[in-house]
Chain A
Amino acid sequence: MSELHDVPSAAQLIEAVREWLERDVLTSTTGRVQFHTRVAINVLAMVERELELGADQRATHAARLADLGVADDHELARAIREGRLDDRLGEVVAAVHASVVEKLKVANPGYFESR
């Protein structure tokens, strides 16, 4: 795939900022600012994961929705609420669970091991 933009990539730029926050800002702040620095580091790491995994996840998510005969999460949510997929609820539960696992892989992969 040919890229219009020069290096660094978006992911590499975010990585550079995150590393600076970790190396310089975290160690020279305390209290509230340090806490908010930690939050910022987590946010940037999340964006890095989304840049890495997002395209594949979108494709598998679209395929899962197509299997259930719905266009998007809005339509799936409505179908669940109105009982239109009740004859396939086992499949629905499995598909929604799989989507949640994918979201969590980006948002907070440590959560799978935590309690």
Chain B
Amino acid sequence: MSDASPASARDALAEGLARVLGTPVENLVRLSGGASRETWSFSAGGRRLILQRQRSGDVRDMGVEANVLRAAHAAGVRVPELLASGTADSPIGSSFMVLSHVDGETIARKILRDDTFARAREVLVGDLAAALARLHSIDPSSITGLPATDQVAQYRTTLDDLNASLDQAHPTFELAFRWLEANRPESARRSLVHGDFRLGNVMVGPDGLRAVLDWELAHVGDPMEDLGWLCVRAWRFGSASPVAGVGTYDQLASAYERESGLSIDLDVVRWWEVLGTLKWGIMCMIQTSSHLLGLARSHELAAIGRRVCENEYDLFLALDGRWQGLGVK
């Protein structure tokens, strides 16, 4: 495969897809490639479809994500329809999913600024809250293989490993961990959590939310994690509105309460927002470490290391006036 030209690799992929779907495949085009997976667009049987697959050699399985998509679809969450999925021993050669194409925009800055989305911006906080309420109503035990790791413990370990390999120390992150541990919310209800619910990972049309995408970080946890992540400053993309750059905390809470019938404690949402801000700072460290450790040499990844202090600054903003939990006047 490695010595195949891009054209013949694409032909081989088209042939594999045709065998999986039992119908000829046309217009196969590579859309994007993240670090671990590729997205392709194509048409078959008169429909526009999307292929997502792990990079060849990446052993990770999309099976759990496929299970999550099926459950979300069944619960009435707007998601792309899953038409096929399989493992590395399929004709696709790596773990994959075939999904229906959904029209719309994922680029946050366009959604937040273009006139096309003026109407969408008015309804989006309500649409996002309703989608969350609905996906949180799914019984997580009905989905096979869903991970259930403690987020604080997981990111504590990740930060320790990164600090060791990069010879770094972050007093701000240590303060944030102390605050998180001292103010951890009472054990809440456990649900399916999307894990990366924000602009960029949802398809938006001029009329509002069209589909919830990118379920690869789905897990079992406190549903308020998704609400807090949606409020992290990085996901406002420069907008003044705290919730996804389109709404207020009160709008988020009331729309979620209306849809779910459950009441929300915004202090718990803010706790998850603090953890989310810390997580994004750690993720910036992961990206710069992949450059520094030579996994992917890139000045773009290198520069992200200097964005860690943006997250530190955001942590001070988020915790301003709330250090009492640590005994600080």
Binding site for B on A (CB under 8 A): 36, 39-40, 42-43, 46, 72-74, 76-78, 80-81, 86, 89-90, 92-93, 96-97, 99-101, 103-104, 106-108, 111, 114-115
Contact = CB atoms under 8 A, between A and B. Distances in A.
Contact of A77 (B170, B302, B303): B170
7 contacts: A39-B299, A73-B169, A76-B171, A77-B169, A77-B173, A90-B328, A99-B171
Interface in B221-239: 233, 236, 238-239
A63 B277 CA distance: 28
Interface in B191-214: none
A42 B303 contact: yes
A97 B309 contact: no
Given A96-B171, A100-B309, A115 B240 contact: yes
What DSSP secondary structure best describes chain B's contact surface? helix
Given A36-B300, A96-B175, A115-B238, A74 B169 contact: yes
Given A77-B170, A81-B174, A100-B172, A89 B327 contact: yes
Nearest to A114: B238
By size class, the interface of chain B is: 20 to 34
B40 interface: no
Interface in B291-329: 299-300, 302-303, 306-307, 309-310, 312-313, 316, 323, 326-329
Contacts of A97: 316
A39 B291 CA distance: 15
Nearest to A74: B169
Nearest to B241: A115
A115 B239 contact: yes
Contacts of A39: 299-300, 303
B312 A100 contact: yes
B171 A80 contact: yes
Contact of B310 (A81, A89, A104): A104
Nearest to A99: B171
B178 interface: yes
Nearest to A40: B299
Nearest to B245: A115
B155 interface: no
